[in-house]
Structure 1
Amino acid sequence: MSRPDADVAVRFLRALAFEIHRKRPPDEAMVDCIEKEGQRGRHRMLRPAGEILRSEGFLPALRTAGFISDEAASILSAIVAGNDHRLLAAAINSLADFHERS
């Protein structure tokens, strides 16, 4: 992932984690984050993720955007199934930390 893409990933994941921590459903929080990135001119980059979000759901959309790997998606699926918004927000923040370091 190039540096500008990594910066977008970090910003997007942190915003998503913040919204989820506020007890917003992940799908709803992601729609809001995609809209906010669209206002910054990144809408074209995230358009495929928005389409996948509507048809397949939250985790496939994050994979389509390139923000998480298949391995991360499998771990996040267990966290989503556990329905713990704080744990999900912490995991997404950890992924943002990973993108920031790389």
Structure 2
Amino acid sequence: MDPQSADNKHKFEVIDQLQQLAHESGISLADMAIAFTQAHPAVTSTLWGPRTFEQLKSYMAGAQTRLGADVLDAIDAIVPPGRRIDDKEQTWMPHWMNTEKRRRHVY
């Protein structure tokens, strides 16, 4: 993925914002991602894909992480629920992401 591409520039800005939020929260971006999926009511399981034992241990630590409402609110401000970073990637909307199923409603 070319970070200089106009199509990708916003994606990298979002990654930077999420990385900064994770840093300010005292956790890794991977831990925040795992904890975020576990905080979402529509997610029934989180699949990990560690390549090393060290990654597995890190993911297990992330599974113990709980995000406060302030961090979840900040994530929602960066990437609003039910929205994609790049609208060109929107192919279909799964029923579990209908407005009434989201963790928070954004209008």
Larger radius of gyration, structure 1 or 2? Answer: 2
Where relative contact order (Cα < 8 A, 6+ residues apart) is larger, the structure is 1
Q: Which has the higher helix share?
A: 1
